């Protein structure tokens, strides 16, 4: 008996008889007189669904199908949770989880359409495929540009629009000899099923396919990237594609509202915004540099030098931005022979920054700011530390912070 899932691919429900209940590796398996459940194949997932029967008192009992598989000895085995009280001599109703089946058929048939398009337009072969729960992957040989992918997507959706009848049949001996398929047939004595989308693709495949390309509704290539010498395409078909595109449309709508413009002007609006951002960045950078330069020079002018002509720069700030002080310390130490001793009082604590240039610490071995920080830290209970040319940390003691900086200042001004 031919399995119903091949003969009537859109059949969702059938009434039949249980032939036998078996123990299948510790699970309950049933063999059906006529089977509607697809065991999976050609990369497509197996069916799930329900079997509804009656008990001896004619009460309805519904059990879930947990898996369907093809066994060499038994044929198609439908695994269920438990046969329970079901009267196995009475007829049962088999119901396919149609959302799952239709989704599987769409993703799978969509893959044939895409593989056919890739070969027809660019003579590229399919290297691998994976049909996933959320999205599917197709590996195609070679590299692709955005324009090539756009062409494939458009072509595939035109194939859907054309409403081409999809043929599915068992190949006879005559046809076997003729090599009608795009890729070589499997070397087997068993019957081979062929899928044919006229003028696009013809290949051996044991999956369950849609009847017409229009059943696919839409094919969307979500993204593509290089993968192991091929290109991997993530794609969606049918309801998945429609849902994805509509959700994206909603996001796009929000973006347009944010920019207060329509789809014709959005790219221009983003371009203008980027230009504005670059311009502001440049202006800001210029002004900051000017400010840091002026401020640094002012600090230097009010600082004293030691006998080695090193400026000992000592300043306590109130609530200043630490990034600004870091830039100023950097500017001073890069442009002057200077040792910078900064403190910045914030809410309840003080940030401390001691800095010189690496070059200066090499020329004058007595400069070791890390050591100084460590030695004087107990004056204010400071936490932190650093190297010879840079030390930083913080303390909560705002009262004694000038004592702390003073003591380090005196080390260097009196050298």
Provide the minimum distance between the beta carbon of 195 and Zn ion in the complex, in angstroms, as a whole number: 5
Provide the minimum distance between the beta carbon of 164 and Zn ion in the complex, in angstroms, as a whole number: 15
**Cβ closest to Zn ion, residue 42 vs residue 53:** 42
**Cβ closest to Zn ion, residue 194 vs residue 339:** 194
**Cβ closest to Zn ion, residue 10 vs residue 397:** 10
Provide the minimum distance between the beta carbon of 205 and Zn ion in the complex, in angstroms, as a whole number: 3
Provide the minimum distance between the beta carbon of 68 and Zn ion in the complex, in angstroms, as a whole number: 17
Provide the minimum distance between the beta carbon of 173 and Zn ion in the complex, in angstroms, as a whole number: 22
User: Which residues in 122-249 belong to E strands, given as ranges?
Assistant: 126-131, 136-141, 167-170, 193-197, 201-204, 219-227, 230-237
**Cβ closest to Zn ion, residue 40 vs residue 207:** 207
Provide the minimum distance between the beta carbon of 257 and Zn ion in the complex, in angstroms, as a whole number: 43
Q: Are 198 and 145 in contact (CB under 8 A)?
A: no
Q: Are 153 and 195 in contact (CB under 8 A)?
A: no
Provide the minimum distance between the beta carbon of 109 and Zn ion in the complex, in angstroms, as a whole number: 7
**Cβ closest to Zn ion, residue 33 vs residue 167:** 167
Provide the minimum distance between the beta carbon of 8 and Zn ion in the complex, in angstroms, as a whole number: 17
**Cβ closest to Zn ion, residue 206 vs residue 413:** 206
Which residues are registered as beta bridge partners of 181? none
Q: Which residues does 165 contact at the CB level (< 8 Å), separation at least 6? A: 198, 211, 212
**Cβ closest to Zn ion, residue 111 vs residue 368:** 111
Q: Which residue is nearest to Zn ion (CB)?
A: 205
Terminal CA-to-CA distance of the chain, rounded, Å? 104
Dist CA 32 CA 39 (whole Å):
13
**Cβ closest to Zn ion, residue 29 vs residue 207:** 207
**Cβ closest to Zn ion, residue 79 vs residue 205:** 205
Show the tokens assigned to 21.
């209940």
H helical segments located in 66-172 = 98-122, 146-162
Q: Is 71 helix (H, G, I), strand (E, B) or coil?
A: strand
The 10 Å CB-count burial string (b at 16+, else e) for 248-259 is: eeeeeeeeeeee
Task: Tell me which residues touch Zn ion (CB under 5 A).
Answer: 42, 195, 205, 207
Provide the minimum distance between the beta carbon of 240 and Zn ion in the complex, in angstroms, as a whole number: 17
H helical segments located in 231-308 = 239-259, 266-301
Dist CA 75 CA 376 (whole Å):
85
Q: Is 161 helix (H, G, I), strand (E, B) or coil?
A: helix
Q: Is 322 helix (H, G, I), strand (E, B) or coil?
A: helix
Q: Within 13 Å, how many C-alpha atoms sit on residue 16's CB side? A: 19
The residue to which tokens 């040319």 are assigned: 389
């Amino acid at each position: 008996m031919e399995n119903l899932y091949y003969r009537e691919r859109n059949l969702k429900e059938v009434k039949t008889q249980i032939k036998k209940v078996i123990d299948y590796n510790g699970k309950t398996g049933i063999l059906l007189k006529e089977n509607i459940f697809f065991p999976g194949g050609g990369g497509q997932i197996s069916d799930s669904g329900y079997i509804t029967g009656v008990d001896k008192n004619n009460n309805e009992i519904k059990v879930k199908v947990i898996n369907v598989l093809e066994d060499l000895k038994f044929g198609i085995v439908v695994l269920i949770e438990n046969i329970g009280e079901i009267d196995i001599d009475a007829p049962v109703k088999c119901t396919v989880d149609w959302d799952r089946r239709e989704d599987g058929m769409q993703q799978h048939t969509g893959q044939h359409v895409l593989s056919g398009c890739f070969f027809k337009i660019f003579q590229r072969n399919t290297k691998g495929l994976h049909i996933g729960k959320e999205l599917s992957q197709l590996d195609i040989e070679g590299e692709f540009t955005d324009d090539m992918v756009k062409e494939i997507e458009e072509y595939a959706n035109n194939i859907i629009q054309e409403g081409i009848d999809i043929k599915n049949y068992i190949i006879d001996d005559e046809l076997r000899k003729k090599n009608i398929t795009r890729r070589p047939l499997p070397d087997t004595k068993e019957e081979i099923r062929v899928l044919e989308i006229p003028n696009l693709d013809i290949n051996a495949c044991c999956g369950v396919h849609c009847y017409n390309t229009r059943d696919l509704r839409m094919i969307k290539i979500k993204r593509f990237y290089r993968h192991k010498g091929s290109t991997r395409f993530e794609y969606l078909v049918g309801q998945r594609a429609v849902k994805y595109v509509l959700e994206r449309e909603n996001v796009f709508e929000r973006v347009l509202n944010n920019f207060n413009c329509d789809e014709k002007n959005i790219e221009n609006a983003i371009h203008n915004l980027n230009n504005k951002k670059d311009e502001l960045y440049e202006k800001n950078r210029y002004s900051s540099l000017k400010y840091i330069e002026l401020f640094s020079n002012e600090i230097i002018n009010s600082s004293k030098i030691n006998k080695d002509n090193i400026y000992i720069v000592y300043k306590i700030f109130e609530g200043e931005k630490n990034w600004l002080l870091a830039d100023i310390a950097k500017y001073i130490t890069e442009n002057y022979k200077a040792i910078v001793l900064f403190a910045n009082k914030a809410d309840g604590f003080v940030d401390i920054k001691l800095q010189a240039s690496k070059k200066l610490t090499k020329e004058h071995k007595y400069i070791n700011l890390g050591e100084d920080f460590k030695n004087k830290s107990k004056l204010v209970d400071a936490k932190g530390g650093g190297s010879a040319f840079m030390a930083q940390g913080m303390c909560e003691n705002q009262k004694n912070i000038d004592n702390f900086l003073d003591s380090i200042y005196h080390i260097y001004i009196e050298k």
